[in-house]
């Protein structure tokens, strides 16, 4: 067992050439004859040679590793994002190292620290729910390691950001509810200091204004959008004397749980209360009634982010600061369809 790994010198010895020739042959250097190259590649295969990436990285000061920090793992959206990043990265011969913060700023800092230690060439990150301070990203900037922020991005920091058009999404969701006849819509969302939530709220208000409705503070409810919060929200609504007739909840899981409890207590969805969620998680298609929700292509976000990062890595490390905004769709399903149309599948409203 544990047989020694062959090195370029082992190959060199076998072929009676120098180490550099092997090295060059293996990296397709132009000044190596086809014959030699072929012989080398064949022998390498035969002997099970694998480049020692540590030696290589030590020499090159380049790791071909990209760090990815995400706030959670178990959502379709995140999986898609990772797939998108993975595809682009693999294509460009980069590895990705994934860390998930479980929405904890402390863990996010530990992961960032570790990725710095591992000397990733670049970083793609989405902030944890309670991340306020961004100083754990400073060392990357100091060392010229480019960072691309995705989805949950810092409002103030410099850098490249890839987000969906949350404002448009919020606007469209709300507009849809209004068009279905809702007159008192509640917006249930999370900490407004986060771009994703503040933008959706902006869109919400804009839609109300655009339809000559006034926004009253009681229409806004801030929670952490968890499974538990869904139960609490339902209870709160059940206790209200002036109940809403529409809910725009910015998370499918939370919206689903809330809907479940409203139904259990005799509220009819969508007749009494129409509901719109956010994310197009699988769950939105399985609850009864199916949940109207906002869909956005995680894979696209991942691809755009990775492409951008890798460009910065290879071409010009242009440390300019800009934001890439991607579209999203409103998927209209049963939970908000008060006015009946005949629909076979999801109705899609491009934002």
Partner DNA sequence: ATGAAAGCGCTAACAG
Partner DNA sequence: CTGTTAGCGCTTTCAT
* Site of interaction with a second copy (CB under 8 A): 1-3, 5, 48, 50-55, 57-58, 63, 72-76, 78-79, 82-83, 95, 97-98, 100, 102, 114, 116-119, 139, 141-144, 227, 253, 256-257, 260, 263-264, 282-283, 285-288, 319
List all residues 6 or more positions away from 236 whose beta carbon is below 8 Å from its beta carbon. Answer: 221
Closer residue to DNA (CB): 29 or 211: 29
- Pick what 100 binds: a second copy, DNA, none; C-beta below 5 to 8 Å, kind-dependent: a second copy
Closer residue to DNA (CB): 32 or 274: 32
| CA-CA-CA-CA dihedral for 212, 215, 219, 222, to nearest 10 | 130
Closer residue to a second copy (CB): 19 or 213: 19
Closer residue to DNA (CB): 94 or 171: 94
User: How many residues interact with DNA (rule CB under 7 A)?
Assistant: 31
The whole-angstrom separation of Cα 261 and Cα 275 is 13
Kindly report the length of the chain. 351
H or E element, residue 264: helix 252-264
How many CB atoms within 10 Å of residue 108?
A: 27
Taking alpha carbons only, the member of 87, 22, 24, 94 closest to residue 57 is 94
Mapping DSSP to helix (H, G, I), strand (E, B) and coil, where does residue 65 land? Answer: strand
Nearest distance from C-beta of residue 33 to a second copy, angstroms? 27
Query: Quick check: 36 binds DNA (CB under 7 A)?
Result: yes
The whole-angstrom separation of Cα 102 and Cα 45 is 42
Closer residue to DNA (CB): 54 or 133: 54
- Pick what 139 binds: a second copy, DNA, none; C-beta below 5 to 8 Å, kind-dependent: a second copy
- Pick what 27 binds: DNA, a second copy, none; C-beta below 5 to 8 Å, kind-dependent: DNA
The whole-angstrom separation of Cα 279 and Cα 335 is 15
- Terminal-to-terminal C-alpha distance of the chain: 59
Q: Which of 30, 93, 242, 341 binds DNA (CB under 7 A)?
A: 30
Query: Quick check: 118 binds DNA (CB under 7 A)?
Result: no
Nearest distance from C-beta of residue 43 to a second copy, angstroms? 17
Q: What is the DSSP letter of 216?
A: -
E-strand spans in 218-265? Answer: 220-222, 246-249
Nearest distance from C-beta of residue 295 to a second copy, angstroms? 16
Query: Quick check: 58 binds DNA (CB under 7 A)?
Result: yes
Q: Which of 43, 45, 46, 55 binds DNA (CB under 7 A)?
A: 55
List all residues 6 or more positions away from 128 whose beta carbon is below 8 Å from its beta carbon. Answer: 71, 101, 102, 103, 104, 105, 107, 108, 152
Q: What is the DSSP letter of 96?
A: E
Closer residue to DNA (CB): 48 or 266: 48
How many CB atoms within 10 Å of residue 296?
A: 23
**Do residues 69 and 96 lie in contact, with contact meaning Cβ atoms separated by under 8 Å?**
no
**Do residues 250 and 278 lie in contact, with contact meaning Cβ atoms separated by under 8 Å?**
yes
Nearest distance from C-beta of residue 36 to DNA, angstroms? 4
* Rg, Å, the chain Cα set: 26
Query: Quick check: 286 binds DNA (CB under 7 A)?
Result: no
Query: Quick check: 16 binds DNA (CB under 7 A)?
Result: yes
Nearest distance from C-beta of residue 30 to DNA, angstroms? 7
Nearest distance from C-beta of residue 28 to DNA, angstroms? 11
Q: At what angle do helices 19-26 and 8-15 cross, to 10 degrees?
A: 110
Closer residue to a second copy (CB): 21 or 75: 75
Query: Quick check: 42 binds DNA (CB under 7 A)?
Result: no
- Pick what 266 binds: a second copy, DNA, none; C-beta below 5 to 8 Å, kind-dependent: none
List interacting residues with DNA (CB under 7 A): 4-5, 7-9, 16-21, 23-24, 26-27, 29-34, 36, 49, 51-52, 55-56, 58-61
């Amino acid at each position: 067992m544990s047989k020694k790994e062959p090195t370029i010198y082992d190959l060199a010895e076998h072929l009676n050439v120098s180490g550099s020739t092997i090295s060059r042959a293996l990296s397709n250097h132009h000044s190596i004859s086809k014959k030699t190259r072929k012989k080398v590649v064949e022998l390498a295969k035969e002997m099970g040679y694998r480049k020692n990436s540590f030696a290589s990285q030590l020499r090159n000061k380049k790791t071909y590793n990209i760090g990815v920090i995400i706030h959670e793992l178990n959502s379709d959206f995140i999986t898609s994002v990772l797939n998108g990043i993975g595809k682009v990265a693999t294509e460009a011969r980069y590895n990705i190292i994934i860390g998930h913060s479980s929405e904890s700023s402390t863990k996010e800092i530990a992961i960032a620290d570790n990725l710095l230690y591992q000397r990733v060439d670049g970083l793609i990150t989405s902030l944890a729910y309670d991340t306020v301070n961004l100083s754990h990203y400073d060392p990357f900037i100091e060392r010229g390691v480019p960072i691309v922020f995705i989805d949950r991005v810092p409002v103030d920091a410099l850098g490249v950001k890839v987000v969906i058009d949350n404002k448009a999404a919020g606007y469209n969701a709300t507009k849809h509810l209004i068009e279905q006849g809702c007159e008192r819509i509640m917006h249930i969302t999370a900490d407004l200091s986060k771009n994703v939530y503040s933008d959706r709220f902006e869109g919400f208000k804009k839609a109300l204004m655009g339809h000559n409705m006034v926004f009253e503070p009681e229409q806004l409810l801030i929670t952490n959008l968890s499974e538990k919060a869904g139960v609490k929200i339902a209870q709160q609504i059940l206790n209200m004397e002036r109940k809403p007739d529409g809910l725009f909840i910015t998370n499918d899981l939370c919206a689903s749980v809330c809907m479940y409890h409203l139904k259990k207590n005799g509220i009819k969805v969508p007749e009494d209360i129409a509901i719109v969620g956010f994310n197009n998680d699988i769950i939105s298609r399985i609850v009864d009634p199916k949940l109207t929700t906002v869909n956005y292509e995680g894979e696209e976000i991942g691809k755009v982010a990775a492409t951008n990062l890798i460009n910065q890595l290879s071409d010009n490390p242009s440390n300019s600061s800009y934001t890439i905004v991607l579209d999203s769709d409103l998927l209209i399903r049963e939970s908000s369809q008060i006015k009946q149309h005949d629909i076979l599948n999801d109705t899609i409203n491009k934002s």
